[in-house]
């Protein structure tokens, strides 16, 4: 069965207009950061989420804080899969790269536990 588009020529979806407006106002990155923070535990799982956290989004680069540098070696091979899952849940190609940084004083302070090997 052929799918027929209900959109009329020359019309733009409300979602597209909203996204463009948010970008022009400088709010898109803030909203996408908040959405990625909310989705993070479901994407990486509870155990990993307990020791990591999304702390920034600049352009298409997601910054993730780690409580222990050993988490970097455990998560870097999963970087592309994590980005794909987040993009799918967020409805677009919003994340191209994930940068893992070791926790610094004043940032996210969760237990300092190493990943299971």
Class of CATH domain 15-102: alpha beta
Please tell me the pTM assigned to this model.
0.71
The full DSSP string for 33-99 is HHHHHHHHHHHH-HHHHTTEEEEEEETTEEEEEESSTHHHHHHGGGHHHHHHHHHHHHTS---SEEE
Span 17-41, pLDDT tens digits: 777 777 777 788 888 899 999 999 9
Span 49-86, pLDDT tens digits: 999 999 999 889 999 999 988 889 999 999 999 999 99
Where do the domains of the chain lie? 15-102
Q: What is the pLDDT of residue 1?
A: 52
Measured between alpha carbons, how far is 71 from 100 in angstroms, rounded to an integer? 9
């Amino acid at each position: 069965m052929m799918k027929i588009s209900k959109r009329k020529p020359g019309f733009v979806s409300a979602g597209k207009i909203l996204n463009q407006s948010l970008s022009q106002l400088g709010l898109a990155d803030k909203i996408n950061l908040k959405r990625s923070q909310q989705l993070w535990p479901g994407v990486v799982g509870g155990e990993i989420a307990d020791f990591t956290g999304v702390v920034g989004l600049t352009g298409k680069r997601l910054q993730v804080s780690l409580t222990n540098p050993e988490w970097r070696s455990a998560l870097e091979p999963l970087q592309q899969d994590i980005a794909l899952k987040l993009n799918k849940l967020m409805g677009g190609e919003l994340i191209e790269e994930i940068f893992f940084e070791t926790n610094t004083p004043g940032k996210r302070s969760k237990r300092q536990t190493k990943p299971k090997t």
